[in-house]
Structure 1
Amino acid sequence: MTVEFAPVVERRLGALPASAEFLRRLDVAGIVDELCPIREVAHLTHGQVIEMLVANRLSAPAPLVRVGEWARQWAVEEVFGVEPDLLGDDRLARALDAIAPCLDQLVGTVGAQAITEFGIDASRIHWDMTSMSLFGAYEDQDEQFPQVKYDHPKDRRVDLKQIQAGLAVTGDGGVPVFHRIYDGGAGEVAQVVGAMNALRTMAQQRNFLLVADSKLVSYPNVSALLDANVAFIAPAPAARVPDSIYAARSLEDAQAVDYTADRDRHRPAEERDLYRVLEDTHRLAGPRKSDPSHTLRRILVHSTGNARGQEKARTKRLARAAEDLDKLQRQAGGRYYGTAEKIAARIGMIARTRRVQDCLRTTIGADPEGRCTLQWHFDQDVLDAEAAADGWYALLTNLTPEQADAADVLLRYKGQSVVERRYHDFKVNRPGFGRDLRLWL
């Protein structure tokens, strides 16, 4: 009997075949190589290196080092035909440096390829921006790239510098097709027009619907969108619609919308949030008197869920303010609050912190012995007016009633949550993505 021993090589396969198929159909390597050519004598093109980095991010996200070691443990050579020893840190750095100057064009081209190859419906695109807080000094930054700066981070870590990112996903499946990186101090309002122009080029169609947050609503942005014949939906900033507009509306006149939020799908019908809509117009004036004003459709939306949440929040802040004011009332005229100036300063702090400036009424007086006293109450008329506006918000759009009635406008806007979920996937679930995909395969 003859016994033969054959060497057995074991490598992890995981999601690599799926990654390779998608990268091939998106033609990532071909697009990179066309925009960033390299000498024919090179062992790997920039496109091949970028494909390896994408596969690495999808299968085993970790600090971007020792990619060659990852390739030896995984079946990279068998799936992609790339020798792991060629993926040294210097080679990866050269590829990243090569694509940096043309990154925007690269992203747009890959996005257009995704739309074409997979037949994605790009007639509705959702756009949003987020911030990412960073640690470190970030000195001597190259000015040709987005700058890490202090600003107003979404996670409220004002002690950290940040970079910002914009992401566009399709209404058809929430597929990310475009992204862009911005300075940490870049204003969201000023980025809408640039994103809109890039999306028009990528989508290869003039007529598409852009859905965004309230940062879209500025006179320059709306003017540019109207001039470009781009339809849009965005919530009106709260300051642009007074509460009196909502308080004057009656729910009996509003149209019920057949919409169920994802969070309510498991609940009985009687416990689900209800949505109703009304419609009027909104006049958006320019910064100069000579600027022509824009008249937009305004969809007034009432949500029972929002109404409950606002009522609960108001009850909570009033209770906390009352607790602080009662304590101040007891201490008035004492050691710490012996003067009217000190009492008034404390009242101002409580009003700002608890957000009760509009409804708080106070009187600082003196007792027969000359000690300061405090009387306070909440103005019920103001609270009633605030309660009458609970649950309402407004959407602005240039869609015609023939293109979408009030209910349709709300339904299209509700898809905006998908871009927020994509950010969540990137920020929170990213480390587990590769594992989840391997289990699925």
Structure 2
Amino acid sequence: MSNNPYVMPDITAVSPGAVPVITMLCRTAKIGEIINQMVQWNENNSKITPGLPIESLIVCIICGRKPLWKVEEFWAKQDLKLLFDGTDITLDQLNDDAYGRALDKLSEVKMEELVSRCSLVMLAAHDLKISTVHFDTTSKSVQGVYENGAFGDFLITYGHSKDRRPDLKQFKIGAAVQEDGQPVMGQILSGNKSDKEWNPEAALKVLSSSIKRDSKMSSLSPTAPSYQQIP
């Protein structure tokens, strides 16, 4: 040990970046809690809830981690007790097997319902209302062979590429946000789905969803352009 009185060997400095903020937003949205309610799992046989790995994986993705394996290496540089206060999570529980099991359970969930439920929680947490909804889509290119019909009505196929890769097949992501930028609905779409076709469909879906009932939304024109004004 050094005799220098200014050396503090028991302190380890870390640079968390945006991780604490993103983690808190995910926990405010109760992503993990909602997933736990939606999937089948046995608390008595589980060392970790299925929602917690998914919540932590979202943090990894948003904070820029590209390879989604050996994720425990990412969390080894973070303060788990501080970030996931109220849980008994340990680093060894955030292993690839745990993430694989959680993702298998997540595959059984209706993603639109999950997004809607988390959106309602965030609207309530920030006391946000809905008077205007903006609809938009983006495309995600993929590589490999995908046979039409392999995923039911969902097709990975060629379409208008918003990331400028018309040579690749793609799928699309559609989202609706209210005037403050808070998402209120999200969908995974076929790669050839047009905005003109999706916008009115999405407007009708928002009108008929729990988002409308719980946010006091009055009316929405399904034939209007991407910005929808609610009186």
For the superposition of Structure 1 and Structure 2, which TM-score range results when normalised by the shorter chain? 0.7 to 0.9
The alpha carbon displacement at 1:43 in A equals: 1.1
Runs of 5+ consecutive residues of structure 1 not aligned to the other structure: 211-220, 223-232, 236-394, 404-441
Secondary structure, in 3 states, of the residue corresponding to 1:149? coil
> How has the CA–CA distance of structure 1 residues 130 and 62 changed in structure 2, closer, same or farther, with 3 Å as cutoff?
same
The alpha carbon displacement at 1:18 in A equals: 2.2
> How has the CA–CA distance of structure 1 residues 76 and 140 changed in structure 2, closer, same or farther, with 3 Å as cutoff?
farther
> How has the CA–CA distance of structure 1 residues 398 and 113 changed in structure 2, closer, same or farther, with 3 Å as cutoff?
closer
| Equivalent in the alignment of 1:168 | 176
Given that residues 122 and 208 in structure 1 are in contact (C-alpha distance below 8 angstroms), is that contact kept between their aligned partners in structure 2?
no
Given that residues 130 and 178 in structure 2 are in contact (C-alpha distance below 8 angstroms), is that contact kept between their aligned partners in structure 1?
yes
Given that residues 37 and 46 in structure 1 are in contact (C-alpha distance below 8 angstroms), is that contact kept between their aligned partners in structure 2?
no
| Equivalent in the alignment of 1:93 | 100
| Equivalent in the alignment of 2:212 | 203
Given that residues 77 and 84 in structure 1 are in contact (C-alpha distance below 8 angstroms), is that contact kept between their aligned partners in structure 2?
no
TM-score (norm 1): 0.44
Q: Which has the larger radius of gyration?
A: 1
Secondary structure, in 3 states, of the residue corresponding to 2:135? strand
| Equivalent in the alignment of 2:143 | 135
Given that residues 171 and 189 in structure 2 are in contact (C-alpha distance below 8 angstroms), is that contact kept between their aligned partners in structure 1?
yes
Greater strand share, structure number: 1
Q: Deviations over 1:61-83 (max 9, x none)?
A: 32322211111122234421522
> How has the CA–CA distance of structure 1 residues 142 and 93 changed in structure 2, closer, same or farther, with 3 Å as cutoff?
farther
Matched ranges for 1:12-411 at <5 A: 12-40=15-43, 41-80=45-84, 81=87, 82-101=89-108, 102-138=110-146, 142-144=150-152, 146-171=154-179, 173-200=180-207, 201=209, 202-204=211-213, 205-209=216-220, 222=223, 233-234=224-225
> How has the CA–CA distance of structure 1 residues 138 and 69 changed in structure 2, closer, same or farther, with 3 Å as cutoff?
farther
TM-score (norm 2): 0.78
Q: How large is the RMSD of aligned CA atoms in angstroms?
A: 3.1
Q: Distance in 2 between matches of 1:160 and 1:120?
A: 39
The alpha carbon displacement at 1:118 in A equals: 0.8
Q: Distance in 2 between matches of 1:87 and 1:145?
A: 34
Given that residues 170 and 176 in structure 1 are in contact (C-alpha distance below 8 angstroms), is that contact kept between their aligned partners in structure 2?
yes
- What is the aligned-residue identity percentage? 25
Which letter maps to 1:106? L
Secondary structure, in 3 states, of the residue corresponding to 1:234? coil
RCO (CA 8 Å, sep 6+): is it higher in 1 or 2?
2
Given that residues 20 and 83 in structure 2 are in contact (C-alpha distance below 8 angstroms), is that contact kept between their aligned partners in structure 1?
yes
Q: Distance in 1 between matches of 2:32 and 2:58?
A: 11
| Equivalent in the alignment of 1:437 | none
Q: Distance in 2 between matches of 1:146 and 1:209?
A: 26
Which letter maps to 1:207? S
Given that residues 167 and 179 in structure 1 are in contact (C-alpha distance below 8 angstroms), is that contact kept between their aligned partners in structure 2?
yes
> How has the CA–CA distance of structure 1 residues 169 and 144 changed in structure 2, closer, same or farther, with 3 Å as cutoff?
same
Which letter maps to 2:68? L
> How has the CA–CA distance of structure 1 residues 165 and 153 changed in structure 2, closer, same or farther, with 3 Å as cutoff?
same
Which letter maps to 1:199? V
Q: Distance in 1 between matches of 2:117 and 2:91?
A: 28
Given that residues 115 and 203 in structure 1 are in contact (C-alpha distance below 8 angstroms), is that contact kept between their aligned partners in structure 2?
no
Aligned pairs, how many? Answer: 217
> How has the CA–CA distance of structure 1 residues 190 and 20 changed in structure 2, closer, same or farther, with 3 Å as cutoff?
same
Greater helix share, structure number: 1
> How has the CA–CA distance of structure 1 residues 23 and 133 changed in structure 2, closer, same or farther, with 3 Å as cutoff?
closer
The alpha carbon displacement at 1:52 in A equals: 0.6
Given that residues 131 and 153 in structure 1 are in contact (C-alpha distance below 8 angstroms), is that contact kept between their aligned partners in structure 2?
yes
